[in-house]
Structure 1
Amino acid sequence: MHGVAKVALDEFQRRDEETKRKKKIEVYLNIRDKIFSKTQNGSFDLDGLRYTAELLSKNPDIYSLWNYRKRTLSKLKENHCPHTDYAENDQKKSSFDNLCKRELELTETCLQKNPKSYGAWHHRFWVISRCIDKINIDFKCEVKRCDALLFLDGRNFHCWDYWRLLCNFFDVSTYDRLIYTKSKIDYNFSNYSAWHCRANLLLNDIKAKNYRQINVETYKFESKLVLEGIFTDVRDQSAFFYKIWLLNLIDSRRRDLSITKVDVEDDSLTIYFNDHVNIKSDSIVFRVGNDYRSNFDWKAEDGSRCFKIWTCKSNDALLMRDSDTFEINWLVQNRNLEFHMNRNRIITGSRDFVPVNEIGCTVTEELTANDELRECVRSELGILSQLVEMDPNEKWPLLIYTLALQKVDREVNKDRIISGLEKLKTIDPIRMRYYDYLRNDLGFLN
């Protein structure tokens, strides 16, 4: 182990250690051969469970033995009958549930031996999800076991993965999961795993609601939480990584909304936009010659209410497909945008495009809230500036402050952003190209 000095052994101690090692190898090979023989003969029985338990309790990382136990339990479950307890000289009858209970006890013993045993963690969840009735599993008790192991090592990703599997299996709400991760963060702000888990939960929630960025109230809460962690230890990286992730959830781009492509098939029309929009049935009118067509039943390609690609079924598509040119009139925010299509489907449209952030009828809630999010970040600039002043040569506060300036308004804050990135190159020269990349990505070419 790290930090533990090796103790020199004399000749007698070395011989004693070698004898013990050979004995362990002999026991292992004996049991291994028995199990392999049973597997080849299709013999999955209680004796096999006893043999493998003896070995796994000493070394829980032998996958083949865990696999043998899985096959044995699956076979016993199929038989739907009571089984003899596999402890020697014990004639007491026990149910299959009791057998599974002993299986969980074995995994617990193995995890005490090695808290990061892939095989033991996987087998424990396999037993819970495949062998035991859900109603008979004490979820709170399982979480307490996770708590005990995370108390010893808050970054034990095996335990975190097991906790996530449990939450999915028991349909635990996102809210309750966030409460759990916050409890781990409150205990230790430097818990990378808790921050990472929290980020995934929020990201999945955003996707589930078909949002493109974080909700304003959620951002305020998360930002307050992470700033507390940053002020606790300005040199701790975990909170800064999370703050960068939060800032990257904010869409700071100011783009013009337009149609980029139109596909016309025999019975369908597909329109491609350069950003996510919500199409109303009467907002788009097609004109072929003096003929006008509208009130199409538009559907987003991914089934959501806001997407870049929209399709509708229409017999009028044949008319448009066979014409040399046709025109698309799109009524957005009381402004009519015209796009002309020729036979080669090349778009020539009015340059009077509508800025995305002005279109209330075509964007989702989180996009219209973009200005509010920028104001949230603007209100944090003073605090972030204080962090920079506290330690001007520390990279993390300066990086966060520079990224925040970009989210508020990259053009107005251009000089301060460039100055921050140039200073970061002197503070952290090993990542010089990364800071050049950030500058170029913002359009501030060297």
Structure 2
Amino acid sequence: MHFVKKVPTSEQEKAAKRKEHEKRAQQFLRVRDRIVAKRDKGEYDEEILSLTQQILEKNADIYTFWNIRRTAIEQRIEANRNYLLELDVLDEEKAKSAQKVENLLAGELFLSYECIKSNPKSYSAWYQRAWVLQRQANPDYVKELALCEKALQMDCRNFHCWDHRRTVSRMAKRTEEQELEFSNRLIEENFSNYSAWHYRSIALTKIHCDEKSVKLDDSILAAELQKVKNAFYMDADDQSAWTYTRWLLENGSGKEFLRPESCTPIQLISASFHGTNTTLVFTRAVTVPYILTLVDTDDETSWRGFSSTSPSPTSARVWQYVSDTPLQIANPLETPEKSENFAWMSLTDTPYVNVAKLKMIFDVEEPKEPAFIQELLEDCRQLIELEPKNKWPLYMRSLVLMEYRPIRSHSEIVDNLKLLAESLDTKRVELYKSLISRQKLNFSIREQFARLLSHESDELVVRYSELTSLEGVEFLAGLVGSADFSGN
């Protein structure tokens, strides 16, 4: 306990504790050896259930002993199943046999419950409960969900319990709307419940999104931002609500700087012929087999990928096909497989350029700004005034400006990121340097975008812009023939 002076342990007490520990260790080894011997002989009887229970009550994380118990129980379930198929057995006897199995499974739930009480983060004990529920004739899902909720009240970030609850919810066929309401209840009890916010994001996605679209409707986003706003003003220093807000902002965004590459859909950005090679540029790294679904060749040997991480990558955003003859690309490009009915697009005279995607990548045009985004910006501004040393409102305002006002608010974005890097969040200085560099790169590219797109010139000039990274330049590989980055 705090502020309680520790009393030194005497040598006699240490010796007694050591002796007691050795005694318990010897007892454990004897029981363990007995269990292993019986398992090796295939003796999954009542004794092996009793012995494994003795050990697991003291240490629930010995997964092998849970496996042994499952084998023993499965044998009894199978024996009961065969018994019920016998024709000359009375219904009363069959009922007794079935009830005996149910009692055994109920006892297993009790054992795992006792183990969880002493170790709430025992993966093995939680897994055992799910295994038992899947084998009970009439599992009590309501009681099990109540147990999960009680455990989450004790530790809202117990991911073992969260995993178990997801399993039970599926077994109980609960709707995503019910799960959304569950997350709502947890958040109302504790705005700092990071896991509940995360669970809410999963439920919202399953309810409102499909395989073709991962973007939430503006009405949903507005309602969620209104909900999270209460958390901002209760404790602006708590990261849970801010992290959830970032997820809302990322939802449906085409900006790679906000999301990991794995979340970016694969799209062809440009395809162009340069005399000795055909260059293809994609939104994310792809392999040669994927490219062959888009072009009029099956040759896998003449491709060369470009990557900053490997001289000979198997997956890359930029690929060149070395040949004096230009390739043709499948049209429409949205269809990932070639067919006999495809129209082919020639690159001899005019390259293909996904102009809309490039405009999004380099912030050439600002998207429409919904009213709820304007309100979020104003909330962040007020919180910055109230708590000027709090990084979260400034960080969130910067992200929103990068998404919706990258041109109008370029200077403010850079100033905000510098303040975060130099004062408010120095542990993530490299992150902010990278974001600043990307904003400055985008600024320079916007000034030259029309010229590059019209093929008036294929030179990109970004001098003395304090760039720390060239990430993003690769998207212009099909339009740029030479580049000048001197002074960076």
Normalised by the size of structure 1, how large is the TM-score? 0.72
Give, in angstroms, the shift of residue 16 of structure 1.
3.6
- Whose RCO is larger (CA < 8 A, sep 6+)? 1
Q: Compared with structure 1, are the counterparts of its residues 215 and 441 closer, same or farther at alpha carbon in structure 2 (3 Å cutoff)?
A: farther
Which residue identity lines up with residue 158 of structure 2 in the other structure? N
The answer as to 2:450 corresponding to 1:437 is: no
Give the match for residue 398 of structure 1.
394
**In 2, are the aligned partners of 1:252 and 1:408 still within 8 Å (CA)?**
no
Question: How far is 1:162 from its partner?
Answer: 0.8
1:220 to 219, 222, 239: 222
Q: CA offset at residue 407 of structure 1? A: 1.8
Q: Output the CA distance in 2 between the equivalents of 1:257 and 1:158.
A: 41
Which residue of the other structure, out of 146, 149, 161, is the alignment partner of 1:147?
Answer: 149
Q: Which moved more, 1:200-209 or 1:243-252?
A: 200-209
SS at match of 2:335: strand
Residue pairs, 1:242-391, within 5 angstroms: 242-251=244-253, 260=271, 262-264=294-296, 308-311=334-337, 313-314=339-340, 340-342=346-348, 348=351, 355=356, 374-391=370-387
Q: Counterpart of 1:100?
A: 105
CA deviation digits over 1:18-50, x for unaligned, max 9?
343233222211211111001111111222111
Note if contact 2:216-2:252 (Cα within 8 Å) is conserved in structure 1: yes
- Cα 1:24–1:155 change in 2 (3 A) is same
* Distance apart, 1:208 and its partner CA: 3.3
Aligned partner letter, 2:136: I
Distance 1:117 1:8, change over 3 A: farther
Per-residue deviation, 1:381: 1.2
List gaps (5 residues or longer) in structure 2.
84-95, 257-266, 272-279, 281-293, 299-329, 360-365, 444-464, 467-488
**Structure 1 residue 194 corresponds to structure 2 residue 220:** no
Aligned residue for 1:112? 117
Aligned residue for 1:160? Answer: 162
Question: What percentage of aligned pairs have identical amino acids?
Answer: 29
Change (3 A) 1:246 1:120: same
> Does residue 422 in structure 1 map to residue 425 in structure 2?
no
Normalized per residue, which structure has more strand?
A: 1
Using the TM superposition, give the Cα deviation of residue 103 of structure 1 relative to its aligned residue in structure 2, in angstroms.
0.3
Q: In structure 1, give the amino acid aligned to 2:295.
A: D
Contact 2:192-2:238 within 8 A present in 1 as well: yes
In angstroms, what is the RMSD of aligned CA positions? Answer: 3.4
Shift of 1:386: 0.2
Q: What secondary structure is seen at the aligned counterpart in 2 of 1:263?
A: coil
Separation in structure 2 between the aligned mates of residue 156 and residue 203 of structure 1, nearest angstrom? 22
Alignment-derived partner of residue 313 in structure 2: none
- C-alpha separation between the residues in 2 aligned to 1:308 and 1:31? 64
Q: 1:234, 1:121 → 2: CA distance?
A: 35
* Whole-Å separation in 1 of the counterparts to 2:4 and 2:108: 34
Distance 2:5 2:436 in 1: 48
SS in 2 for 1:392: coil
Q: 1:253 to 1:118 in 2, by over 3 A?
A: closer
8 Å contact 1:192–1:238 — kept in the other structure?
Answer: yes
> Residues 53, 197 of structure 1: CA spacing in aligned structure 2 closer, same or farther, 3 A cutoff?
same
1:80 aligns with 2:80: yes
Using the alignment, how far apart are the partners of 2:11 and 2:45 within structure 1? 44
User: In structure 2, how many angstroms separate the alpha carbons of the residues matched to 1:433 and 1:356?
Assistant: 27
CA contact (8 A) 2:156 2:193 kept: yes
Listed one character per residue, the Cα deviations across residues 279-330 of structure 1 (whole Å, up to 9, x for unaligned) are: xxxxxxxxxxxxxxxxx9x99xxxxxxx94344643x56xx7xxxxx6x5xx
Q: In structure 2, do the counterparts of structure 1 residues 144 and 377 end up closer, same or farther at CA, with 3 Å as the change threshold?
A: same
Q: What is the aligned length?
A: 361
Gaps of 5+ in 1: 83-91, 267-295, 300-306, 321-325, 329-339, 359-369
- Shift in Å at residue 221 of structure 1? 2.0
Which residue of structure 1 lines up, in the alignment, with residue 304 of structure 2?
A: none
Report if aligned partners of 1:257, 1:354 keep a CA contact under 8 Å in 2.
no
Moved more, 153-162 or 20-29: 20-29
Amino acid of the structure 1 residue aligned with 2:182: Y
Q: Is the contact made by 2:176 and 2:203 (CA closer than 8 Å) also made in structure 1?
A: yes
1:52: how far off? 0.9
Query: By how many angstroms is 1:139 displaced?
Result: 1.3
1:71 maps to: 71
Report the AA paired with residue 416 of structure 2.
G
Equivalent in the alignment of 1:408:
404
Q: Distance in 1 between matches of 2:253 and 2:382?
A: 25
Residue in 2 aligned with 1:43?
Answer: 43
Q: Does 1:233 align with 2:259?
A: no
Q: Which residue identity lines up with residue 151 of structure 2 in the other structure?
A: L
Q: Tell me which amino acid in the other structure corresponds to 2:225.
A: S
The 1:175/1:433 distance shift into structure 2, 3 A limit, reads same
* Deviation sequence 1:29-88 (CA, Å, 0-9, x none): 121111100111111122211111122112212112111101111222111268xxxxxx
**Aligned AA for 2:14?**
R
Quote how far apart the aligned CAs of 1:206 are: 6.0
